[in-house]
Amino acid sequence: MIRLISGIVVFALIVTAAAWLADRPGDVAIEWLGYRIDTTVGVLGAAVLILGASITLLYMLWRGLIGAPGAWFGSRSESRKRRGYRALSLGMVAVAAGDADEAQRQARRAESMLDDPPLTMLLSAQAAQLTGDKDAARRYFTAMLENPETAFLGVRGLLMQATRENNAPEALRLAEQAHRMKPTTPWVVQSLFDMQARAGQWLAAQETLQEALRNKVVPVERGRTLKAILLVERSRQAEARGKNGEATQFAREAFLTEPSRIPVAQRYGERLIADNDHKRVRKILERAWALHPHPDLAQLYLAASGNTDPLKRVQALQELTSERPDDVESHIVLAREALEARLWGQARRHLVAAGGDNPPARICRLMADLEESEFGDGERVRLWLTRATAAPIDRHWRCQPCGMVTERWQSVCPNCGAFGTIDWRSPPPGYSGILSLEDGITAEEMKAITVEKPPVATTMPVPVNGNGAAKKEDDKPLPPPVLPQRIDPLA
Assess whether pLDDT exceeds 70 at residue 340: yes
Residue 89 counted as domain residue: yes
CA distance readout (Å), 358 to 234, 328, 333: 42, 13, 19
Asked whether the predicted pLDDT for residue 338 surpasses 50, the reply is yes
93-95-101-102 Cα dihedral, nearest 10 degrees:
10
What pLDDT shows up at residue 480? 40
Question: Model confidence over 68-125: pLDDT tens digits?
Answer: 666 565 566 677 667 766 776 676 666 566 676 776 677 777 666 666 555 676 667 7
pLDDT value for 448: 35
pLDDT of residue 115: 62
How far apart are alpha carbons 371 and 250 in whole angstroms? 45
Q: Does any domain span residue 149?
A: yes
391 within a domain of the structure (yes/no): no
In a domain, 142, yes or no: yes
Q: How much is the pLDDT for 311?
A: 92
- State how far the Cα of 334 lies from the Cα of 317, in Å rounded to an integer: 7
Predicted structure pTM score: 0.65
Establish if 275 belongs to a structural domain: no
Distance, in Å, from the CA atom of 349 to the CA atom of 380, rounded to the nearest integer, reads: 18
Mean pLDDT of 241-249: 95
Asked if residues 378 and 386 have their Cβ atoms less than 8 Å apart, the reply is no
Considering the chain, what percentage of its residues have pLDDT values greater than 70?
76
Q: Which helix (H) or strand (E) holds 30?
A: strand 28-32
**pLDDT (tens digit per residue) in 257-293:** 999 999 999 999 999 999 999 889 999 999 999 999 9
For the chain, the straight-line distance linking the first and the last C-alpha, in angstroms and rounded, comes to 102
Over 90: is that where the pLDDT of 331 sits? yes
Dihedral pair phi/psi, residue 116, rounded to 5°: -135, 80
Number of domains within the chain = 1
Could you list the residue range(s) of the whole structural domain that residue 93 is in? Answer: 81-165
Q: Is residue 155 part of a domain?
A: yes
Residue 227, pLDDT above cutoff 70 = yes
Strands (E) located in 11-75: 28-32, 35-39
Residue 70, domain member (yes or no): no
Q: Is residue 7 part of a domain?
A: no
